């Protein structure tokens, strides 16, 4: 298989159409077998449930070329399970976990020529998604759905790659208590668009959302969870019912404890205590580990001692170990790596 001739090293996080995508239809209460197709366009009723009532959810994972030339993806079973949980919350039909993983493998295999080479700094982003497609005018769930997967080669989510970013404390909330913050519903991202546009306009890279009930605790950003490193090297991550259970964060907490021998803690993190931490980073599939140099809370600057030039020492160790596992240079825990054959 010959790779596409793309400028892998200078890719941003953008959409580029690849050759094949997977589509499965839910009708008469069952999923069909699904197939790989070439057409990237979707035709639907003007009254499709997704268009009127935003009944849609998605997932995000990546495929990597390993140092020894294999193509792998990272913990796709956890994305499958998270979408299964999201669908239950959104009254959507659940796509079986094993079928989801099979479909990811098939789609990546069909777009192998777009998986960026090892060491290029780019990866193949995989986007599974589902939406209600039949016309619905009274507010109720759709009866017909499509589950789809497309892939697109991507570079770093934040411009500048591993350079520390600056984020601001948002005046907007991301998720209501007992709302949908803990699932990957499209609506969570729709409501974040105004906040991200205004953050960018004011020169910030992202928003830090607070817990909506008390606005005293750190939740997450629009597309990643937080990790904080204490001055005695403990890895701390916020605990909340309204943040997305990041697969990267769960993996990093395991890596911190079992590969790096660090103490880890998942607990409520107060905005007031951020000045006590030595390092801060965002973690997620798209963000990987993005160091945060500064958090601005209405003019008050919280500057982490790791600074604005490079990643903190522990953040760097976590980054190296996680990406080493993903790229096959460090042995992975059992079941974490799914080879595309």
In whole angstroms, the minimum distance from the beta carbon of 129 to ligand PLP comes to 12
| Core vs surface per residue 234-260: b (16+ CB within 10 A) or e | bbbbbebebbbebbbbbbbbebbeebb
Position 135 contacts ligand COI (CB under 6 A): no
- If you compute the radius of gyration of the chain from its CA atoms, what whole number of angstroms results? 20
SS3 200: helix
15 vs 213 by CB, closer to ligand COI = 15
Q: How far is the CB of 149 from ligand COI (least distance, A)?
A: 13
Query: Which residues have C-beta within 8 Å of that of residue 253, sequence separation ≥ 6?
Result: 235, 237, 264, 266
Min dist CB 338 to ligand COI, Å, is 16
Q: Please, what is the minimum distance in Å from the beta carbon of residue 222 to ligand COI?
A: 6
How do beta strands 61-65 and 56-58 pair? Answer: unpaired
Q: Exactly one of 20, 62, 184, 217 is catalytic; which is it?
A: 184
Q: How far apart are CA 106 and CA 64, in angstroms?
A: 15
Site for ligand COI contains 284 (CB under 6 A): yes
Which residues lie across from 237 on neighbouring strands? 266
Among residues 153, 223, 293, 312, which is the contact residue for ligand COI, using CB under 6 A?
223
Residue 225's binding partner among ligand PLP, ligand COI, none (Cβ under 5 to 8 angstroms by kind) is: ligand PLP
Q: Residue 276: is it exposed, middle or buried by C-beta count within 10 angstroms (0-12/13-18/19+)?
A: exposed
Query: Do 161 and 286 meet the contact criterion of CB atoms below 8 Å apart?
Result: no
| Cα end-to-end span (Å), the chain | 13
Which lies closer to ligand PLP via its Cβ, residue 175 or residue 340? 175
Instruction: Identify which of residues 60 and 141 has a Cβ nearer to ligand COI in the complex.
Output: 60
Q: Does 60 bind ligand COI (CB under 6 A)?
A: yes
Tokens of 155: 């570079």
Choosing from 56, 120, 237, 285, the residue that interacts with ligand COI (CB under 6 A) is 285
Stretch in the footprint of ligand COI (CB under 6 A) among 31-39, 69-77, 139-147, 283-291 = 283-291
Residue 184 appears among annotated catalytic residues: yes
| Helix, strand, coil % in the chain, rounded to nearest 5 | 25, 30, 45
* Nearer CB in complex with ligand COI: 184/217: 184
Least spacing, CB of residue 99 vs ligand PLP, in Å = 20
Q: Least CB distance from residue 27 to ligand PLP, whole Å? A: 29
Q: Which of 101, 66, 75 is nearest to 336 (CA)?
A: 75
Q: Which of these segments, 166-174, 206-214, 280-288, 300-308, binds ligand COI (CB under 6 A)?
A: 280-288
Binding residues (CB under 6 A) for ligand PLP: these are 60, 220, 223-225, 244, 246-249, 284-285
* Interface contacts to ligand COI, rule CB under 6 A: 60, 223, 284-286
Just list the catalytic residues: 184
């Amino acid at each position: 298989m010959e790779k596409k001739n793309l400028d892998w090293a200078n890719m941003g996080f953008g959409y580029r159409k690849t050759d094949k995508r997977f589509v499965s239809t839910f009708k008469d209460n069952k999923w069909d077998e699904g197939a790989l197709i070439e057409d990237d366009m979707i035709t639907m009723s003007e009254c499709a449930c997704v268009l009127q009532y935003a009944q849609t959810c998605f997932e995000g994972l990546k495929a990597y070329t390993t140092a020894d030339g294999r193509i792998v993806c990272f913990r796709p079973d956890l994305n499958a399970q998270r979408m299964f949980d999201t669908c239950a919350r959104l009254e959507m039909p659940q796509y079986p976990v094993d079928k989801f993983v099979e479909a990811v493998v098939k789609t990546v295999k069909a777009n192998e020529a777009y998986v960026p080479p090892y060491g290029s700094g780019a990866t193949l982003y995989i986007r599974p998604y589902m939406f209600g497609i039949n016309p619905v005018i009274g507010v109720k769930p759709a009866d017909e759905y499509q589950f789809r997967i497309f892939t697109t080669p991507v570079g770093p989510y934040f411009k500048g790659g591993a350079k520390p970013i600056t984020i601001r404390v948002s005046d907007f909330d991301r998720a209501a208590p007992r709302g949908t913050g803990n699932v990957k519903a499209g609506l969570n991202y729709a409501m974040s668009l105004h906040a991200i546009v205004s953050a960018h306009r004011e020169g910030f890279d992202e928003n830090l959302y607070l817990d909506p009930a008390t606005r005293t605790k750190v939740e997450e950003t629009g597309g990643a969870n937080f990790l904080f490193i204490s001055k005695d090297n403990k890895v701390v991550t916020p605990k909340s019912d309204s943040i997305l259970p990041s697969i990267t964060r769960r993996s990093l907490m395991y890596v911190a404890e079992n590969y790096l021998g660090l103490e880890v803690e998942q607990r409520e993190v107060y905005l007031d205590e951020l000045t006590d931490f030595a390092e801060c980073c965002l973690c997620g599939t798209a963000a990987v580990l993005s160091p945060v140099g500064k958090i601005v809370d209405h003019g008050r600057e919280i500057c982490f001692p790791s600074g604005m030039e490079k990643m903190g020492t522990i953040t760097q160790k976590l980054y190296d170990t996680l990406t080493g596992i993903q790229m096959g240079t460090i042995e992975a825990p059992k079941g974490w790596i799914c080879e595309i054959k």
